[in-house]
Structure 1
């Protein structure tokens, strides 16, 4: 039913010789993924800071920058300028909530407690910002 493979695999195998390109471990791949999610969350946080400055957002941005720097082996993230956000605050909070959720998943699979706590806190902050104001007043 299936035709057998007739050519040699282009992928290296355990029995085959080592290839010329570098391989990353699962942990390194997760570090890269987690740093990416946290850097994206930092960018959204910076947009929120530009739209409505807050000491809490400043603290969060610094904590996110420190985590990204740690995950990238001491290389700090590129920060956006203080230009105002093009999107409304609710859209930014939705995006930040989703990014924090992705970061939490990767941090949990990587067993990175510090990053997981930070991501979970940010999910809570942005979920609270998204709650309808009417429910809070009743």
Structure 2
């Protein structure tokens, strides 16, 4: 069906593996998951929620060091912050599932549910 390629590639392939750092898929997913959870931690801190410690524990596990806590406030409304947190938790859940990280997946799913419930509460309060 397809004819095999018979010519050499015009793209240079690094012959020395020391030319650039190589990360495994697992390492890449760890970095991505830690990033999503660190962003979720920042939003959780801004909301002043107690669950920040659980998220910080997961970030520390993935990075091998405690996360740097961000003290700056965005002055966003609680609804915006809960929406952002729900979205970040969803991203973390997808990566955690891909990585087969049960602890991070459970934490992310719980945070998604909590922020969705908070958004529902805010909508009910706003309706009255």
Bin for the TM-score computed over the shorter chain = 0.7 to 0.9
The Cα shift of 1:123 comes to 0.2
Counterpart of 2:58 in structure 1 is: 67
Q: Residues 16-57 of structure 1: CA distance to partner in whole angstroms, max 9, x if unpaired?
A: 5534211000000000000000000000001101xxxxxxx2
The Cα shift of 1:10 comes to 2.6
Q: How does 1:89-100 map to 2 (within 5 A)?
A: 89-100=78-89
Gap regions ≥5 residues in structure 2: 1-5
TM-score normalised by length of structure 1: 0.78
Aligned residue pairs: how many?
A: 119
2:109 to 105, 120, 124: 120
Q: How does 1:9-24 map to 2 (within 5 A)?
A: 9-12=11-14, 16-24=15-23
Label 1:20 to 1:128 Cα distance change in 2 as closer, same or farther (>3 A).
Answer: same
Counterpart of 1:52 in structure 2 is: none
Gap regions ≥5 residues in structure 1: 50-56
Q: CA RMSD in A?
A: 2.1
